[in-house]
Structure 1
Amino acid sequence: MRNSSGIPEDSSVSGHAGATAGKKEITDKFPAFRFENYSYSYPQGEGKALSSIDLEIKKGEFILVNGTTGAGKTTFCLAAAGILNHEYEGTSGGRLEISGREVMEYQDMGEIGSHIGFVFDDADAQLIFTTVEEEVLSGLENRGLDERSVRDKLEEIMNLTEISGLRYRAPHTLSGGQKQRVALAATLASGTECLILDEATAELDTEATEKIIKILSKLKSEGRTIIVVEQKPEEMSGIADRVVIIDDGRISGNYPADEYFRDYNIRKDDIGAEGECAGKIFLNTTDITEKNSDRIVVEFKNVTHNYGKETALDNVSLKIFKGELIAIIGENGSGKTTLSKHINGLLKPTSGEVVVAGINTAGSTVTELAKHAGLVFQNPDTMLFEDSVEKEILFGLKNIGADLTKDPDYINRILDEFGLSGKNNIFPRSMSRGERQRLAIACVTAMKPEIIILDEPTTGLDPEESLRIMNIIRRLAAEGHTVIMVSHDMKIVEKHAGRIIKMEGGKITGDISCSISGVI
């Protein structure tokens, strides 16, 4: 049943795993979470990821977790969800209780998962079915509901999260923001008392983020316990009860939300000032001069791309030149990611042509195109799978047949350029999000492609790390690389992009040049 706000009356939250019938009764006698001098160290990590955590979270509280990139926020969430103790091979100390029971008293993650839902910052980690509808149905079918109730709630949740139009799409074909909404829908489909969201709104546009906040507000009113990691805390100021600050694996602040936000000033970092493109009106026509037509490195010629019956790119024509730093903007599902995946051959046009470095992508392999166009995905963990930083760099170089015998110090120089000196043997997953992002960019840059595509390069990063990433990106453009970034962060775009392309409904609706110092 739907109430006046449009939210299912018994909306509930859980991940795919463990949302089974027969869960134990939970009362308000115990807090939702209690950490007592809790610590954790990852295998192959450098030192403790969490240290001396003492924190109690009551049932029904909305806790906002904030801190710099690499401070330990995600590790804290993984601990609260029981994942560190049950699924990871690291070392923990102290005590962690979930609803009055010590974390290891639970049989497995299946039992814990019947109480706690987790929406990861990497939606790909929890989307496992062949269609969007199946993702949502998987949670509903585990609740023991009759067939009519399952179908009714399916429609309610899909409408609520605005994914009904994606019903038969394969999750891997969706944009980052669309994937996050599907992951949340799948979580809402199952019944739990607690929801943990780790940067789950980072890849959403403003409108989608506001919708998620409304959903969370309703869930809070129903008595759910909610923990949210968010780099832009002001967005949650209206519904948070407390703000917990994590710094270097420790809790450095624990404030009532009204006190925290009363004194809160959005930090005016070096990125904050508007760039010279700020305030310009997007025109419905391309406003890019072609005086350097001999420098074209990418050209889309009347390109259309369909996912089944849905058109993701609609007759797009576009020329991109050597040394440009381009930002592609637009709401979730506007076609940004689909466009970028055509440049390195991950997608091929349904009709039309894409020419990259003089090569028609239709007749080329991804490996061949990787020598000319490298793609850094939204979440660096999608790209990192080796057991050391050095092996990650080597993987791409070997794929393109690079010979390092004449330059044995090449990898060390690359790591130095990206602020990763001395981390050759470090396990990539033990590094901070910002370090992993820099490593992902380093892996692509090491192959020396003419074109570098970055999908949401500053997602989930604090302002200082975002600036560091953008300085790297600007340097690459100044060195002659063509850099194309997909971004929702208009502060970043307006400050750093030399050209902004706006997309809506699979079409380019705006294309403007910007006078930005330091960009070719």
Structure 2
Amino acid sequence: METVIELRDVSYRYPRAEEESLKQVSLAVAKGKFIALMGPTGAGKTTLSLCLNGLIPQFLQGELQGEVRIGGEETREVRVQDLAKQVGLVLQDAESQIVGRTVGEDVAFGPRNFGIPLAEIQQRVAQALAKVRLNGYDQRSTAELSGGEKQRLVIAGVLALEPELLVMDEPASELDPEGRFQVYRTLDDLCREKERTILVVEHSSEEILHRAHEVIVLKHGKVAWQGIPEQLFRNIPLLQEFGIKPLPVSLLGWSFCQRGWIEGQDIPLDVAEAESLIRKLIGEPALHNRVAPLIAPPARGKVHQEKEAEKRPPNSALIQIKQLVHRFESGQIGVQGIDLTIEKGEFVALAGSNGAGKTTLAKHINGLLKPTEGEVIVKGLNTKDVDTAQLAKTVGYVFQNPDHQIFSVSVEKELEFGLKNAGFTRTEIAERITQALALTGLENYRQVHPYTLSKGERQFIAVASVLALTPEILVIDEPTTGLDWVGVEKIMKLLQQLHRKGTTILMISHDMDSVADYAERVIILREGQVMIDAPPWEAFADESMLRQAAVLPPQLCVLNQRLQDLGYSAQSAEEFRQALFQLIEEGERKPCL
């Protein structure tokens, strides 16, 4: 079988770096294979990707040793512009690849540079946009796209080139769940039907499991593991060692394994396997006639919201949004008819498809955007009447891309900037910087330049710079994007800690597992309007509504719905696990064959 990618003893050190990012990496990838490249942040995954299209060493000089061959040709000996005809590269930072004024111009840019006839370019552009759900966006300004739409645009631009090898660095990190599914289905089709070779850098396991032929794990710049996905994803201790997030149903199976109920090879990899396993352990297809509910059923809809309001002090509404409409200069509607109240101390998640209006809505809370119609009241202040600087004393905002708010020469200077502008004394500034660095685990990076750190670490710098101001409200846009499992756990635990101390959290996220595990309430938007407003496990029970909003519920929520006949009720992952443990421990299980 023809070898498309071949690395022989490849080591690479970035300019002025003390340690090598790649260390004697050797691997070979055959034509038509779908390969997942996984591992913790800083393992060398992006560096390896940049080697495959010649950017290393032709643009990023550094020190490269060993051989990198694409289609048998050494990448040092082929110009990058010629390699681009064979290797399509999607970078981790989508915005850095967008060059067109409109969506159509941007997708056509590559084919035009390759001299492809106009009629064929138009056909390729239309096909590529359809594959990433951007039909009808041809004349849309790229500046008005959401982060996820920009990522889809970049993927479309690479697909329009029709390269033999697609190298994608976290291509779906900013996409809604439905968008992730569509992108990976497109890649799967290209691989299996057109024999394209796919190499994807990915932190998420769910889409990789049934699509990748092989997983390669990097750790500290070396190949630490190589094999088929099923072997890796059933080995929970190994995943934990590599900083790769296990599938939620697999973690549930691992808890059964630790209790001696199943063997490692029985750990489920999807909802269907998990349902079958649990029913086998319990020993009954349905127990609803014999088992009383273990947990009181949740109050639903408006009743739930009224009960929650009763628990809070009177006049605790911190944010009031009344008939909000925002229309961009182009005439495009961002949000319309939004009516919401967010109480002091709530942890609220905003979810929905790319372009649904989540970020547009959030930017009204700190005054970055002003209402076209309606009003937004924050702590009694109408945002139309106050400037962003005044609102910043109450509302901290962390952007989806941390690089949009980092501009200082050191981590300490970055935190210092906002505090100086807020008028704090030198002593107060020093104390607040120390506290914020400790809270985010950045104590050892005080004098480090932010852009020498990983994107995940820069995410924590952006969070620290906002937390130093101790805002009552924290708005954070896609906090888990691009982070490995360790990073996701770290930032979500931090948000949980802040919430417990009384900070009101508004989190925009496509990570439905984190939403289900940490948020008290999820607001799902569709086409600029509120579609669902409920506690997460209640919201994720309505699969038909979720499909309309391009949201896929978390595995455990789906599994919970499929097991409702067992006679329990759960409104969180922990309640669900405890309910299952109780059912099994009551002696209902049978040996797992």
For the criterion TM > 0.5, the same-fold answer is yes
Q: Is the 8 A contact 1:374 1:451 kept in 2?
A: yes
In structure 2, what is the Cα distance between the partners aligned to 1:279 and 1:230? 36
Q: Is the 8 A contact 2:233 2:246 kept in 1?
A: no
2:316 pairs with one of 290, 295, 312: 295
Structure 2 residue matching 1:32: 3-state secondary structure: strand
In structure 2, what is the Cα distance between the partners aligned to 1:103 and 1:426? 33
Structure 2 residue matching 1:235: 3-state secondary structure: helix
1:93 pairs with one of 65, 71, 96: 65
1:344 deviates by: 2.2
**Counterpart AA for 2:399:** F
Q: Does 1:196 align with 2:167?
A: yes
Q: Tell me: CA distance 1:305–1:338, structure 2 relative to 1, closer, same or farther (3 Å).
A: same
The corresponding residue for 1:267 is: 246
Q: Tell me: CA distance 1:156–1:271, structure 2 relative to 1, closer, same or farther (3 Å).
A: closer
1:463 pairs with one of 481, 485, 505: 485
TM-score normalised by structure 2 residue count: 0.74
**Counterpart AA for 2:320:** E
In structure 1, what is the Cα distance between the partners aligned to 2:398 and 2:297? 26
Q: Is the 8 A contact 1:72 1:246 kept in 2?
A: yes
Which blocks of at least 5 consecutive residues in structure 2 are unaligned?
240-244, 253-294, 537-570, 574-593
Give deviations 1:408-454, integer Å, cap 9, x for gaps: 35423321221112112223334344323222211211122222111
Q: Is the 8 A contact 2:35 2:199 kept in 1?
A: yes
1:166 pairs with one of 103, 114, 137: 137
1:309 deviates by: 4.0
Structure ID, larger Rg: 2
Q: Does 1:145 align with 2:116?
A: yes
The corresponding residue for 2:101 is: 130
Q: Tell me: CA distance 1:325–1:285, structure 2 relative to 1, closer, same or farther (3 Å).
A: closer
1:58 pairs with one of 10, 30, 33: 30
Q: Is the 8 A contact 2:419 2:429 kept in 1?
A: no
1:385 deviates by: 4.0
Q: Does 1:439 align with 2:461?
A: yes
Q: Tell me: CA distance 1:435–1:270, structure 2 relative to 1, closer, same or farther (3 Å).
A: farther
Give deviations 1:211-259, integer Å, cap 9, x for gaps: 1122112221312221101222341233322210011221101214565
1:407 deviates by: 4.6
Q: Is the 8 A contact 1:278 1:494 kept in 2?
A: no
In structure 1, what is the Cα distance between the partners aligned to 2:516 and 2:228? 34
In structure 2, what is the Cα distance between the partners aligned to 1:278 and 1:241? 43
Q: Tell me: CA distance 1:453–1:380, structure 2 relative to 1, closer, same or farther (3 Å).
A: same
1:5-154 matched pairs, under 5 angstroms: 31-43=3-15, 45=17, 47-88=19-60, 90-107=62-79, 109-154=80-125
Q: Tell me: CA distance 1:447–1:216, structure 2 relative to 1, closer, same or farther (3 Å).
A: same
Q: 487-496 or 282-291, which moves further after superposition?
A: 282-291
In structure 1, what is the Cα distance between the partners aligned to 2:392 and 2:534? 28
1:315 deviates by: 0.8
1:80-479 matched pairs, under 5 angstroms: 80-88=52-60, 90-107=62-79, 109-220=80-191, 221-257=193-229, 260=232, 267=246, 289=309, 292=313, 294-307=315-328, 308-479=330-501
Give deviations 1:93-129, integer Å, cap 9, x for gaps: 333333333333234x433323222222322222232
Structure 1 residue matching 2:516: 3-state secondary structure: helix
In structure 2, what is the Cα distance between the partners aligned to 1:302 and 1:272? 43
**Counterpart AA for 1:323:** G
Q: Is the 8 A contact 1:44 1:430 kept in 2?
A: no
Q: Tell me: CA distance 1:271–1:192, structure 2 relative to 1, closer, same or farther (3 Å).
A: closer
**Counterpart AA for 1:190:** L
Q: Is the 8 A contact 1:329 1:502 kept in 2?
A: yes
Q: Tell me: CA distance 1:156–1:98, structure 2 relative to 1, closer, same or farther (3 Å).
A: closer
The corresponding residue for 1:15 is: none
The corresponding residue for 1:13 is: none
Q: Is the 8 A contact 2:324 2:374 kept in 1?
A: yes
Q: Is the 8 A contact 2:338 2:529 kept in 1?
A: yes
In structure 1, what is the Cα distance between the partners aligned to 2:416 and 2:250? 33
C-alpha RMSD of matched pairs (Å): 3.3
Structure 2 residue matching 1:209: 3-state secondary structure: helix
In structure 1, what is the Cα distance between the partners aligned to 2:435 and 2:98? 37
Which blocks of at least 5 consecutive residues in structure 1 are unaligned?
1-27
The corresponding residue for 1:7 is: none
Q: 376-385 or 471-480, which moves further after superposition?
A: 376-385
**Counterpart AA for 2:437:** L
Name the one with the larger helix percent.
2
In structure 2, what is the Cα distance between the partners aligned to 1:143 and 1:279? 59
Q: Tell me: CA distance 1:258–1:272, structure 2 relative to 1, closer, same or farther (3 Å).
A: closer
TM-score normalised by structure 1 residue count: 0.83
Q: 247-256 or 506-515, which moves further after superposition?
A: 506-515
Q: Tell me: CA distance 1:367–1:416, structure 2 relative to 1, closer, same or farther (3 Å).
A: same
In structure 1, what is the Cα distance between the partners aligned to 2:12 and 2:296? 45
1:187 deviates by: 1.4
1:512 deviates by: 2.6
Q: Is the 8 A contact 2:416 2:429 kept in 1?
A: no
In structure 1, what is the Cα distance between the partners aligned to 2:411 and 2:526? 38
**Counterpart AA for 2:344:** K
Q: Tell me: CA distance 1:82–1:216, structure 2 relative to 1, closer, same or farther (3 Å).
A: same
Structure 1 residue matching 2:321: 3-state secondary structure: strand
